[in-house]
Amino acid sequence: MWLFLGIIFSLGMLIPGRLSLKLQYDRDQVLHIVPETFQQVQHLQHLCSTLLLDLWKPLLPEDIWAGEDLHIRVPAPLVQEVKGSLDQHMISYKVLIPDVQELVDQSMPRERSSHRQVPEGYVYTQYHPMEEIYEWMTQIQKSNSELVTQHYLGKTIENRTMYYLQISQPSDKNKKIIWMDCGIHAREWISPAFCQWFVKEILQNYKSDPKISRFLQNLDLYVLPVLNIDGYIYSWKKDRLWRKNRSPHMNGTCYGTDLNRNFNSSWGSIGVSYNCSSEIFCGSGPESEPETRAVAQFIKRKKSDILCYLTIHSYGQYILTPYGSTTKPPSNNEELMHVAEKAAAALMGKYGTSYEVGSTSLILYNNSGSSRDWAHMIGIPFSYTFELRDKGTHGFVLPPAQIQPTCEETMLAVTTIIDYVDQMYFPGGAVMLTCNSLGLSLCLSVVLTWTVS
C-alpha cells in the first residue's frame, strides 16, 4: 500500500492552481544521512530504488558511499515508513528540510507586477520568472547600448528564443571571450539570479573598478542568463523541483533530458541514465537537444577566441574542474586548481563561506556529457562549474534572503578567475601564455611568439 502511494506521491501532490495543476510538496521532508557501513549503503540504495525516492545528493543510488553525504527528499506519505526503516537498520539521519512546500512558498515573490520599471526598478534580491528576465534583457540593452548587445542563440524544444548578452567595450583590438551560462538545470534558481547580478555589477562598476575596467579592455563577456528556458518556466508554473528540459520521449509518456549530460564529452559513458524518467537521462545521443546544440554550435564557432567557460549551478559550494568522466587530470590541471583556489579564497573573504575545489570525479561523483568537460575537451583552457550555496540546509530551494550574499561572494570568485585569465593572456597588452596552458592554447589558434632560451 505504502509503496503504491510512494510511486504516486514521489513527484509531489497534484492540487488545482489558479491556471493549472501544480505539484505540491506539503510535508515532504529532506533527510541528511551519512552511511557508515557497506551494509547501510546497500540498504539505502535498495530503499531509494524501490520507493523511488528523490535523490538530491548524489543523483544516483549507485553513487551512495559510506562516509559521504546523502540528501533524499521523502514524500509525506512515506516519511514514517522511511524513518522506521532507517531506525530498524540503525542508520542515523537528520531532517534538513521538515516541509519542502513551506520552503517553496517562501521562495516565491509575494507580488508580481506586470509593469516593472527595469532596470532601475528591477529587484535583484528576488527570483524572477522567465517573462521578467526576457524583459530585463531587453531593457538592460536599451539602457546600456554603448556596452551591451542582445543576440539570438537558438530555439528551445518548445520553440522559445534563447538570447545571450554580450558586454563589450568598443575597441579596435581582436578581443578574447569569457563565456558564462546559468540555469542549465531548471530548479537551480539561484543560478539565473547570479547571471543577472553579474551583468548588473559589471555595468554599474566598470568605470570605477580598476579590475573590471582593465579586463574589459581585452575581454568581451558573453552571458546566457537562462540556458534551459522551458524547464525554468516549468519550474515556476508546474513543478518547482523540475531539473531537465521539456523534450518529450516514449510518445509523451515521459519528459526531459538532463542538458548537462547531453554534451559530446564521453557522452553516455558514466554517471547517466538511459531511462527517460530519470533526472539524469542523457538524451538519445550527444547534442540531441536543441538547447545543447545551440550552445555547442556557437561555442565551436567562437572557440579560438574563448579563453574561459563558466557554468553556474547549485547546490553544494564547489568550484569544479574537468573531468567528470575520468580521474585522469587535464594537461593544465595544476593551473586550473591554482586559479580555482584563488577564486575560493576570494569568495570566502566576503562572508566566510567555504567552497571545495577539485575535479568532479574526485570530489563529487562521476558524470559524462557535461558542458564543462566538453568545453575543455575542445580546447578552451579554463573551464569551471560553480555549485553555489548552500550545503543542503535549503538545497535547491535557497531563500531569497540569501540571493544577495550568495551573489556578492560569487562575484568575487568569478572576477578573480576573469582577472587571472586577463593578466595571463594580456600582461602589459601583449598576448602571452603560461606553460601549463600552452598545449590547450595552441588549439585555440592564438598567434604566439615563443622564445626558447
* Cα gap 243→184, rounded to integer Å: 8
Looking at the predicted structure, is the pLDDT value of residue 432 above 90? Answer: no
pLDDT tens, position by position, 47-82 = 999 999 999 999 999 999 999 999 999 999 999 999
**CB-facing half-sphere around the CA of 289: CA atoms within 13 A:** 32
Query: Does residue 351 or residue 18 have the better pLDDT?
Result: 351
Looking at the predicted structure, is the pLDDT value of residue 417 above 80? Answer: yes
* Cα gap 119→136, rounded to integer Å: 6
pLDDT value of position 121 = 87
Contacts of 290 (CB under 8 A, 6+ apart): 154, 155, 156, 157
* Cα gap 297→287, rounded to integer Å: 10
Buried b (16+ CB within 10 A) or exposed e, 307-333: bbbbbbbbbbbbbbbbbbbbeebbebb
DSSP state for residue 55 in the 8-state scheme = E
Q: Percent of the chain at pLDDT above 70?
A: 88
pLDDT tens, position by position, 227-284 = 999 999 999 999 999 999 999 999 999 999 999 999 999 999 999 999 999 999 999 9
pLDDT value of position 442 = 45
| Annotation marks residue 291 as catalytic | no
pLDDT value of position 20 = 45
- The reported pTM is 0.89
- Nearest Cα to 420, choosing from 319, 297, 280, 323? 319
Strand partners, 73: 30, 54
Please pick, among 201, 289, 335, 387, the residue that the annotation labels catalytic. Answer: 387
Q: Where are the alpha helices (DSSP H) in 100-188?
A: 100-107, 130-143
Q: What is the average pLDDT across 133-161?
A: 97
pLDDT value of position 111 = 61
Helix axes 130-143, 190-205, angle to 10 degrees: 10
Secondary structure (3-state) at 328: coil
Q: Percent of the chain at pLDDT above 90?
A: 84
